[in-house]
């Protein structure tokens, strides 16, 4: 009996494992079983054996039940013995899983503390979630070339092989920061600061998504972590530290700057932007937006997604080129930013035309009383097509 | 048989003066109808209430199921357009709320109400009016919560309604108000029901039925009632905090006022985790009855099943934070809760081993009920094992809030709780209605449900592991991966599966209609059953048993039918169910005291939604509701304990009624 059963168990478990692995998508961007950083690898090393053990136990139980179904079906046999159980067997069957779980428990315990280690952190990024996008602020870290704080959103750039500590919080509801290839998720809770360590082994763009339900547009709250080589990262930092330059006079972009000053600067900061009277234009989104912040657009075109990483700034072809690039070339391609020929005009224009239609938001002025008169997300600004042309021209200069 | 609860003045028998307290006390008459709609509206009979619980739960099962189908239709293709983001968020919130609070819990209550008194040889529950009150509360709660669809939108925060997203700023419609206040009413139903059943089981067992001779369904339901008794107050507190925040400007979860939003999570899950066992233990109880009957063997390791059930009841309180591994609790809490969660897998594993060993060496008859019971063992095992992978906290931080956990809890709750309930339908239908559900349709129902459920929830394991988060109203091709078996493929399979599942449940409804039209009566003991509920007519008389049985064995009914030959050790039938029944009728008890129907449970329960509507829209309405509540309580208190003889119509004939025992 035992060899026969063993053969069945082996056969079925092998079949199930093959079916399962063959049944997976190739290159799913948020695959949890393709770790690309040390933290995700620690998790993966723990979970693979656990899944295997669970799979084997599942197969054994199923086989035992199937065996009973076949072997003990009513064929007119006599009334079975009215046994009430065998305590020795029962106790054995209680101790056995307890031992297996104790083993799993020891490794889990160790891994939990390994993952919480922060003493050897090499770089800090503050991460703030809000409805429905992520802001990253890099405090000044001169040893990494960050001489002044950098504020960006959507895509978080890190140097490869560097142990980065995220300090997460939120400006409104609970969100959760999750880049599956680099680590598990950690909630960003208002009023608290939670830490999460991330590092990437190779340059690349790693996709993620908010995984704590955060209201209407939860599905559209995405993010990426972009790992660059140390040199590329230095170049990125250098660019981020510069202010936006005002476009040349008498260009469409310059007119766009006027529209921006009129319509957008209430919420969106562009570092270096000056009002007509020459004073710096400072965004004060806290007056208009519930979260009290809107993405800083100084280097919008250095990122390749917008609106909470929900939409591409790159056209389809250019996106495929950058996202599909090998780890050697991805840095250069990413740093090239979004050029004229690559800009995804369609989505950007649709967004400027009517943002809430693309990404549901509580931005209806009629409902502002329920949110203390503040928008949640970007409202429909009622721009004319003319204004949109000008704005697109201006935004394209924010490299 | 006519009404038996009325006092009968028999010539020559002098009733003690205490037998007619009704005339001395009480300001209101009690209703007396034994037929027609009034007999349902004012009933306190545990069996009628059980059926009413069942009908209500089935209605909400269909409603929650349709919500689920809409969700799957939306997700069948990328950028789904069936539902808007707002409606989708309401849909998944209400799907979970409906299935948990308005289907599985009331359906378990239906079985508990109907069968616990029968299984312990009692004539009713300890507090019959409170029992009716509980039913009207949960029905009111179900209607009240769903009213929100018509008043500006249902709750949209997900069924665990994390703060501060559930606050008035972030959820400006009244949906969450309806949700919180409605669940408050449902909580009243659960609490009164729990107290009632605990008292019933502890005090009203037939003579000789020690706790360790109690049927396992009764045992596990008793554990559930204790879980409810301690878990419901926690959610009550949480819901009060939420309602005061939303309706009266309190700041319990307002971060700017210094609150910590994690407070809600702790409160919710201290309730929410025991709740999981509240949902699944009744089904464990059901299949612990079904498997022995159709294996012709006692349950293997009865004490292990009972004590592991109790152990789950205890350890279930120490694992709540495993829902919060990603919340940022810190490594010490995470490690501790990770280990305690693994510990709870042990008593659960014990049950699976015992069920399998009950089959082992048995004489298995594959009825529809048995199909569902065996289906539960396998499907729940899958859900249990994916649960063990979740208990490994670092791994959970990858899988939580993805479709992997959606797969996990649907294997546990659909494969576990729902399959158990369906097993119960097929097993107990002849007892409840005197007719057996069609077995052929039943098996078709089973196979469609098994295929549908595995097609719907099986691919969700892959979807989750490959990074699709839950609660997204749309998924996009950009994150779906390459290849034929990409996430788009599995989303489509899951959606097709949900339609097959729907078809399976539709077959059950067809079966019910077909059976109710059929004239064929079920035999008295169709399954050769083992426990007391089968030792009476089907459906049972209003007083359940003509004679309160004296219990000598676990599986008392079996031991009355079969006897072991002392020489050959073989079991021989010594009596049929009909013979046992005839013997009972011949020796019927002379004094049977049954409670009279009452107006007050439904009146009292109906004041609660009025108060809640007042809390949301206008305080004066709440005050009026409150006044009626107090008046109804007085009415309840001032009601006579029985209806006087003269109220009954038509008058009873001497032979067909039984005397009322003097009230003590």
- Would you place residue B591 in the very low, low, confident or very high pLDDT band (cuts 50, 70, 90)? confident
Q: How far is B394 from chain A (nearest CA, A)?
A: 6
Decide if B502 is inside a domain: no
Q: How far apart are CA A217 and CA B86, in angstroms?
A: 9
Decide if B572 is inside a domain: yes
- Please calculate the CA angle B73-B76-B77 and round it to the nearest 5 degrees: 125
Indicate the SS3 state at residue A110.
helix
Q: Tell whether the model's pLDDT for residue A389 goes beyond 90.
A: yes
CB contact under 8 A, B395 and A50: yes
For residue B257, the chain A residue with the least C-alpha distance is A191
Other CB atoms within 10 Å distance of the CB of residue A101: 23
Look up residue B534 and give its DSSP letter: G
Q: How far apart are CA A275 and CA A262, in angstroms?
A: 10
Domain ranges of chain A: 2-70+88-115, 252-395
Q: Tell whether the model's pLDDT for residue B623 goes beyond 90.
A: yes
CB contact under 8 A, B85 and A216: yes
B47: closest CA among B101, B168, B128, B104? B128
- Its domain, for residue B559, covers 523-588
For B74-96, the pLDDT digits (tens) are 999 999 999 999 999 999 999 99
Residues of chain B with Cβ-Cβ distance to A104 below 8 Å are 342, 388, 392
Q: How far is B151 from chain A (nearest CA, A)?
A: 16
B249 touches chain A (CB under 8 A): no
B169 touches chain A (CB under 8 A): yes
Identify which has the larger pLDDT, B152 or A370.
B152
Q: How far apart are CA B9 and CA B15, in angstroms?
A: 8
Measured N-to-C along each axis, helices B403-412 and B439-465 cross at an angle, to the nearest 10 degrees, of 150
CB contacts under 8 A, B 560-589 vs A, are 562, 564, 570-571
- Would you place residue B25 in the very low, low, confident or very high pLDDT band (cuts 50, 70, 90)? low
For A124-151, the pLDDT digits (tens) are 999 999 999 999 999 999 999 999 999 9
Residues of chain A with Cβ-Cβ distance to B83 below 8 Å are none
Which of A17, A28, A167, A355 to probe by mutation at the B interface, max B CB count within 10 Å?
A: A28
CB contact under 8 A, B335 and A55: no
Decide if B544 is inside a domain: yes
B44: closest CA among B118, B108, B124, B140? B124
CB contacts under 8 A, B 503-542 vs A, are none
Q: What is the DSSP string of B317-353?
A: GG-GGGGGTTS---HHHHHHHHHHHHHHHHHHHHHHH
Per the prediction, chain A carries an average pLDDT of 92
pTM of the prediction?
0.93
Percent of chain B whose pLDDT exceeds 90: 84
Decide if B554 is inside a domain: yes
For residue B162, the chain A residue with the least C-alpha distance is A174
Average pLDDT of the residues in A36-49: 96
Decide if B543 is inside a domain: yes
Structurally, chain B folds into a number of domains equal to 1
Decide if B537 is inside a domain: yes
Residues of chain A with Cβ-Cβ distance to B161 below 8 Å are none
Decide if B577 is inside a domain: yes
- What is residue B441's predicted lDDT score, i.e. its pLDDT? 97
Fold of the A252-395 domain: Cytochrome Bc1 Complex; Chain D, domain 2 (1.10.760)
- What is residue B20's predicted lDDT score, i.e. its pLDDT? 44
Which of A31, A172, A187, A188 to probe by mutation at the B interface, max B CB count within 10 Å?
A: A187
Average pLDDT of the residues in A92-114: 94
Decide if B276 is inside a domain: no
CB contacts under 8 A, B 408-467 vs A, are 462, 464-467
Q: How far is A84 from chain B (nearest CA, A)?
A: 5
B81 touches chain A (CB under 8 A): no
Q: How far apart are CA B109 and CA A353, in angstroms?
A: 54
Which of A16, A37, A184, A319 to probe by mutation at the B interface, max B CB count within 10 Å?
A: A184
ipTM of the complex: 0.93
By the 8 A CB rule, do A132 and A361 touch?
Answer: yes
CB contact under 8 A, B338 and A108: yes
């Amino acid at each position: 009996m035992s060899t026969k059963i063993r053969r069945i168990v082996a056969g079925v478990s092998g079949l199930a494992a093959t079916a399962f692995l063959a049944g997976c998508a190739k290159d799913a961007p948020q695959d949890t079983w393709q770790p690309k950083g040390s933290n995700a690898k620690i998790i993966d090393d723990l979970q693979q054996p656990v899944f295997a053990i669970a799979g084997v136990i599942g197969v054994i139980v199923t086989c035992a039940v199937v065996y009973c179904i076949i072997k003990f079906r009513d064929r007119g046999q006599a009334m079975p013995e009215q046994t009430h159980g065998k305590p020795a067997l029962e106790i054995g069957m209680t101790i056995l899983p307890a031992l297996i779980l104790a083993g799993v428990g020891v490794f889990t315990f160790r891994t939990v503390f390994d993952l919480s280690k922060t003493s050897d952190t090499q770089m800090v990024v503050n991460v703030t979630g809000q409805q429905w996008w992520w802001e990253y602020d890099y405090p000044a870290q001169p040893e990494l070339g960050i001489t002044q704080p950098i504020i960006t959103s959507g895509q978080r750039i890190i140097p490869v092989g560097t142990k980065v500590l995220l300090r997460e919080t939120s400006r409104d509801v609970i969100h959760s920061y999750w880049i599956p290839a680099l680590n598990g998720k950690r909630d960003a809770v208002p009023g608290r600061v939670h830490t999460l360590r991330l590092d990437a082994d190779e340059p690349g763009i790693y996709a993620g998504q908010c995984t704590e339900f955060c209201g209407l547009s939860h599905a559209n709250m995405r993010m990426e972590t972009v790992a660059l080589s140390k040199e590329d990262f230095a170049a990125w930092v250098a660019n981020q530290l510069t202010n936006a330059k005002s476009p040349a006079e008498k260009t469409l972009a310059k007119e766009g700057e006027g529209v921006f000053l009129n319509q957008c600067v209430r919420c969106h900061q562009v570092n270096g932007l000056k009002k007509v009277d020459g004073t710096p234009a400072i965004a004060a989104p806290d007056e208009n937006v519930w979260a009290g912040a809107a993405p800083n657009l100084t280097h919008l075109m250095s990122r390749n997604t917008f609106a909470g990483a929900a939409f591409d700034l790159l056209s389809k072809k250019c996106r495929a080129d950058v996202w599909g690039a090998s780890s050697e070339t991805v840095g250069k391609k990413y740093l090239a930013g979004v050029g004229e020929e690559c800009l995804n005009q369609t989505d950007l224009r649709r967004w400027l035309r009517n943002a809430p239609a693309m990404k549901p938001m509580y931005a209806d002025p009629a409902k502002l009383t329920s949110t203390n008169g503040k928008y949640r997300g970007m409202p429909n600004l009622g721009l004319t097509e003319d204004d949109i042309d000008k704005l697109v021209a201006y935004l394209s200069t924010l490299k | 048989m006519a009404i038996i609860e009325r006092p009968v003045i028999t010539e020559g028998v002098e009733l003690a003066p205490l037998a007619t307290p009704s005339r001395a006390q009480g300001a209101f008459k009690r209703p007396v109808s034994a037929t027609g709609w009034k007999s349902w509206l004012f009933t306190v009979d545990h069996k009628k209430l059980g059926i009413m619980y069942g009908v209500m739960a089935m209605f909400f099962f269909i409603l929650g199921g349709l919500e689920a189908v809409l969700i799957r239709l939306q997700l069948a293709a990328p950028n789904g357009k069936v539902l808007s983001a707002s409606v989708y968020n309401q849909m998944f919130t209400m799907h979970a709320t409906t299935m948990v609070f308005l289907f599985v819990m009331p359906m378990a209550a239906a079985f508990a109400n109907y069968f616990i008194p029968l299984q312990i040889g009692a004539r009713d529950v300890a507090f019959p009016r409170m029992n009716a009150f509980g039913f009207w509360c949960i029905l009111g709660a179900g209607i009240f919560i769903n009213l929100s669809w018509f008043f500006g939108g249902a709750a949209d925060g997900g069924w665990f309604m994390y703060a501060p997203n559930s606050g008035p700023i972030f959820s400006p419609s009244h949906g969450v108000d309806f949700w919180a206040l409605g669940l408050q009413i449902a909580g009243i139903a659960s609490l009164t029901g729990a107290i009632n059943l605990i008292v019933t089981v502890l005090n009203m067992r037939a003579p000789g039925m020690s706790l360790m001779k109690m049927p396992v369904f009764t045992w596990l339901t008793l554990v559930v009632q204790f879980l409810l008794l301690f878990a419901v107050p926690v959610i009550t507190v949480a819901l009060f905090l939420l309602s005061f925040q939303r309706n009266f400007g309190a700041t319990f979860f307002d971060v700017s006022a210094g609150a910590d939003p994690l407070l809600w999570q702790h409160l919710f899950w201290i309730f929410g985790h025991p709740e999981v066992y509240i949902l699944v233990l009744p089904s464990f109880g059901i299949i612990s009855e079904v498997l022995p009957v159709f294996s012709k063997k006692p349950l293997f390791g009865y004490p292990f099943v009972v004590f592991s059930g109790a152990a789950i009841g205890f350890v279930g309180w120490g694992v709540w934070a495993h829902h919060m591994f990603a919340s940022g609790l810190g490594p010490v809490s995470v490690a501790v809760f990770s280990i305690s969660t693994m510990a709870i897998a042990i008593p659960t594993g014990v049950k699976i081993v015992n069920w399998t060993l009950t089959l082992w060496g048995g004489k298995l008859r594959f009825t529809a009920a048995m199909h569902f019971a065996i289906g539960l063992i396998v499907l729940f095992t899958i859900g249990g094992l994916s649960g063990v992978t979740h208990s490994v906290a670092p791994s959970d931080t990858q899988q939580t809030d993805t479709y992997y956990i959606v797969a996990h809890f649907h294997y546990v709750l659909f494969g576990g709780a729902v399959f158990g309930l369906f097993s119960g339908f097929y097993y107990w239908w002849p007892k409840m209605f005197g007719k057996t559900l069609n077995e052929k349709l039943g098996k078709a129902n089973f196979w469609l449900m098994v295929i549908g459920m595995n097609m719907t929830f099986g691919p969700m394991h892959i979807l989750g592991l490959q990074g699709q988060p839950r609660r997204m109203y749309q998924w996009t091709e950009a994150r779906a991966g390459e290849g034929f078996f990409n996430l788009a493929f599995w989303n489509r399979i899951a959606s097709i599966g949900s339609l097959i599942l729907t078809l399976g449940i539709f077959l059950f409804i067809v079966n019910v209609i077909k059976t109710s039209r059929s004239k064929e009566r079920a035999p008295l003991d169709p399954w050769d059953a083992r426990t007391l509920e089968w030792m009476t007519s089907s459906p049972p008389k209003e007083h359940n048993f003509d004679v309160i049985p004296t219990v000598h064995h676990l599986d008392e009914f079996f031991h009355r039918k079969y006897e072991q030959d002392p020489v050959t050790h073989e079991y021989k039938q010594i009596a049929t169910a009909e013979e046992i029944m005839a013997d009972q009728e011949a020796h019927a008890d002379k004094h049977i005291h049954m409670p009279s129907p009452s107006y007050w449970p439904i009146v009292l329960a109906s004041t609660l939604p009025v108060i809640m509507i007042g809390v949301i829209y206008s305080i004066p309405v709440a005050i009026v509701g409150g006044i009626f509540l107090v008046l109804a309580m007085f009415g309840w208190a001032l009601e006579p304990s029985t209806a006087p003889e003269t109220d009954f119509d038509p008058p009873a004939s001497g032979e067909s009624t039984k005397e009322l025992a003097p009230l003590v």
